[in-house]
Amino acid sequence: VRNTMLVRVVFFCSIFIFGAATECTRGNNATLPGLLKKRILCKYDPKVPPGSSVTLNLFVYIKDLRVLEDENILYVYYTLTRSWKDDYLKFEPQKFGGEDPIRLEYGLWNPGVVALDTKSPALYNEWYMKEFDFRKNRIFIFAKGSVYVQSTRIAAVHCEFDFYLWPFDRQTCRMKIGSAKYSQDEVKIRLSPYGQDIRLQRKDQGRWIVEGINGRNLTDSQKWDLRSRQRQVEVEFRLKRAFDSLSMIMVV
């Protein structure tokens, strides 16, 4: 009797495993993106990093800036793209009608990349929240396992403004980006070495003109958090106050 029960347990377990495997591998000639996503993510665990050490490339697209002089805050509205390689997500496009890349909105591993040491953005709801959905990610998975995750964000960067030369003053603000979940040994964050990694939508920001934006990878000898071992990327904003020269002359 005991042997019979054991045989039955093994039999039903085999059926279950076979059924799950069949569900994951069914439809080799399907062209529906939904079926392709299902097959790729069938046994994928978003809590597990794609390796013991992941290289993460960043692209930063600055869409708009706002300066709050009284509060020493620079509001940065930007699009952040993170890219990395995950061999587990490779697929063969020819089996799915040439679908490449595939697009998702959720379900992948999250490296926890954020703007560090920023204040709570008080203007979050009243500024761009009505125009854009900050909660959604745009995820693209390519056939060779390359992953691109793009999201729109806003950061309240603390700046120490110096108004000694007002109204001819120039200000410099710095935003640091790093992982809030992983150490530098687990996730190596860097600005993308491919193409232009920092872009600005428009230089004229009302009362301020953006003279330049630079990005750099902070090395060990520079500034990175020794306590949490967070490797950081720094984006530097150089601003010049805009004013009406004719009005200034008339006032004088």
Pairing of strands 198-200, 54-68: parallel
* Contact predicate 241/166, CB 8 Å: yes
Residues 64-90: what's their mean pLDDT? 86
- Give the confidence band of 136 by pLDDT, cuts at 50, 70, 90: low
Q: How far apart are the first and last CA of the chain?
A: 106
- Stretch (H or E) spanning 25: helix 2-25
Closest by CA to 224, choosing from 181, 174, 177, 159, is 177
- Considering the chain, what percentage of its residues have pLDDT values greater than 70? 62
- Give the confidence band of 196 by pLDDT, cuts at 50, 70, 90: low
CB-based burial label for 148 (10 Å; 0-12, 13-18, 19+) = middle
Q: Which domains does the chain have, with CATH numbers?
A: 31-251 (2.70.170.10)
Q: Report the pLDDT value the prediction gives residue 83, as an integer from 0 to 100.
A: 92
* Contact predicate 84/112, CB 8 Å: no
Handedness of CA 243, 75, 113, 61 (dihedral sign): negative
Most confident range (mean pLDDT) of 64-73, 79-88, 191-200, 224-233 is 79-88
The pTM is what?
Answer: 0.72
pLDDT in tens, 199-251: 666 555 567 878 888 888 876 544 444 444 457 888 888 888 876 543 444 44
Task: Give the CA distances from residue 241 to residues 68, 185, 198, 235, 251, in Å, rounded to whole numbers and listed in that order.
Answer: 13, 41, 22, 20, 18
Instruction: Count the alpha carbons within 13 Å of 187 in the hemisphere toward its beta carbon.
Output: 27
Q: Report the pLDDT value the prediction gives residue 171, as an integer from 0 to 100.
A: 85
Tokens, residue 139 = 């995820």
pLDDT in tens, 148-187: 999 888 888 888 888 877 888 888 888 888 888 888 788 8
